[in-house]
Structure 1
Amino acid sequence: MRSKVLCLLASALFLPSLASAAPILAPVFTDHAVLQRGQPIRVWGGAMPGASVSVMLGEAETTATTDAQGRWSATFPARQPGAALSLTAKTVGDSQTISDLLVGDVWLCSGQSNMEYPLRRSLDSDTELSHATDPDIRLLQTGRTSLPAPTTTLPKEAVWRVASPEAAANFSAACFFMGRELRKTTHAPIGLIDASWGGSIIQDWISGEGLHALGNYDEGLAVLADYARSKEAGMARWGAMLDRWAAKVEPQAAGWASPNLDDSAWATMPAENFWEVNPGLETFDGTIWLRATLTLTAKQAAQAAKGGATLALGPVDDIDTTFINGRQIGSQEGWNAPREYHIAPGMLKAGANLIAVRAIDTSGGGGAWGPAAQKGLKFDDGSFAPLGGTWRYKISTSMAQSGPPPHAPWLGASGLSTLRNGMIAPLAPYGLKGFVWYQGEANVSEPAEYARTLPALIADWRRAFGGPDLPFLIVQLADFGPRYAQPRESGWAGVRDVQRRVAAADPQVGLASAVDIGDIHDIHPANKQEVGRRLALQARRLAYGDTSLVAAGPAPLSVLIQGGAVTVRLDQRAVVQAGAHPNGFELCDASACRFVDATLSGDQVSLPIPAGLAPVKARYGWADSPIVNLYGLTGLPATPFELAIAAR
Structure 2
Amino acid sequence: MNCPPAKQLLAALLMLASLNILNNRQAQAELKLPAIIGDHMVLQQGQKNPLWGWAEPGEKITVSVNGQTHTTTADAKGKWKVTLDPLKVGGPYEITIKGKESITLKDVLAGEVWICSGQSNMAWTVSNSNDADLEIMTANYPKIRLISVPQVGTQEPQDDFNGKWEACTPQTVANFSAVGYFFGRQLYQTLNVPIGLIDNAWGGSAAEAWVNRKRLEEEPAFKGLMERWQQTEKNYDHEKSMAAYKKRLDQWKAAVKKAKSAGKPLPRRPRAPRNPLTGNHRPSNIYNGVLHPTIGYGIKGVIWYQGESNAGRAYQYRELFPFMIQNWRDEWNQGDFPFYWVQLADFRGEKPEPADSDWAELREAQTMTMSKLPNTGEAVIIDLGEAVDIHPKNKLDVGKRLARWALANDYGVKIVYRSPQYKSMEVEGNKAILTFDHVGGGLDLFDINTPVGFTIAGADKKFLNASAKIIGKNKIEVWSDAVAKPASVRYGWADNPILNVQNKEGLPLTPFRTDDWTGITAGKH
Deviations 1:140-179 (A, max 9, x none): 0001111112111112xx1000001111110000000010
Match of 1:574 in 2: 443
In structure 2, runs of 5+ residues without a counterpart are 1-21, 259-273, 518-525
Measure how far apart 1:458 and its partner are.
0.9
Please tell me whether residue 583 in structure 1 is matched to residue 452 in structure 2. Answer: yes
Match of 1:640 in 2: 511
Q: 1:331 aligns with which of 237, 257, 261?
A: 237
Please tell me whether residue 211 in structure 1 is matched to residue 216 in structure 2. Answer: yes
Counterparts in 2 of 1:57 and 1:26: CA distance versus 1, 3 Å: farther
Give the 3-state SS of the residue equivalent to 1:598 in structure 2: strand
Please tell me whether residue 41 in structure 1 is matched to residue 35 in structure 2. Answer: no
The answer to whether the 8 Å contact 2:34/2:161 transfers is no
Q: Mapping of 1:78-93 within 5 angstroms?
A: 78-91=86-99, 93=100
Match of 1:185 in 2: 190
Measure how far apart 1:53 and its partner are.
1.1
Q: 2:308 aligns with which of 408, 424, 441?
A: 441
Deviations 1:389-429 (A, max 9, x none): 9xxxxxxxxxxxxxxxxx97633212111111111110010
Distance 2:309 2:511 in 1: 19
The answer to whether the 8 Å contact 1:223/1:409 transfers is no
Decide which structure has greater helix share.
2
Q: How many percent of aligned residue pairs carry the same amino acid?
A: 33
Measure how far apart 1:47 and its partner are.
1.8
Q: Mapping of 1:95-110 within 5 angstroms?
A: 95-110=102-117
Counterparts in 2 of 1:550 and 1:70: CA distance versus 1, 3 Å: same
Measure how far apart 1:69 and its partner are.
2.4
Please tell me whether residue 621 in structure 1 is matched to residue 492 in structure 2. Answer: yes
Please tell me whether residue 136 in structure 1 is matched to residue 143 in structure 2. Answer: yes
Q: Mapping of 1:446-525 within 5 angstroms?
A: 446-525=313-392
CA RMSD of aligned residues (A): 2.9
Decide which structure has greater strand share.
1
Give the 3-state SS of the residue equivalent to 1:45 in structure 2: strand
Counterparts in 2 of 1:641 and 1:17: CA distance versus 1, 3 Å: farther
Distance 1:368 1:614 in 2: 61
Distance 2:71 2:253 in 1: 61
Give the 3-state SS of the residue equivalent to 1:444 in structure 2: helix
Counterparts in 2 of 1:239 and 1:416: CA distance versus 1, 3 Å: closer
The answer to whether the 8 Å contact 2:340/2:376 transfers is yes
Counterparts in 2 of 1:221 and 1:85: CA distance versus 1, 3 Å: farther
The answer to whether the 8 Å contact 1:54/1:64 transfers is yes
Give the 3-state SS of the residue equivalent to 2:426 in structure 1: strand
Paired residue type of 1:119: V
Give the 3-state SS of the residue equivalent to 2:35 in structure 1: coil
Deviations 1:191-219 (A, max 9, x none): 00000111111111111133224325468
Paired residue type of 1:492: W
The answer to whether the 8 Å contact 2:344/2:381 transfers is yes
The answer to whether the 8 Å contact 1:201/1:440 transfers is yes
Measure how far apart 1:535 and its partner are.
0.9
Q: Mapping of 1:67-78 within 5 angstroms?
A: 67-78=75-86
Measure how far apart 1:373 and its partner are.
7.5
Deviates more, 1:518-527 or 1:537-546: 537-546
In structure 1, runs of 5+ residues without a counterpart are 1-11, 225-233, 243-329, 341-356, 360-366, 376-388, 390-406
Counterparts in 2 of 1:518 and 1:220: CA distance versus 1, 3 Å: closer
Q: Mapping of 1:232-311 within 5 angstroms?
A: 238=232, 240=234
Q: 2:501 aligns with which of 617, 622, 630?
A: 630
TM-score normalised over the length of structure 1: 0.68
Paired residue type of 1:491: D
Distance 2:319 2:123 in 1: 24
The answer to whether the 8 Å contact 1:474/1:510 transfers is yes
Give the 3-state SS of the residue equivalent to 1:191 in structure 2: strand
The answer to whether the 8 Å contact 2:30/2:56 transfers is no
Deviations 1:248-276 (A, max 9, x none): xxxxxxxxxxxxxxxxxxxxxxxxxxxxx
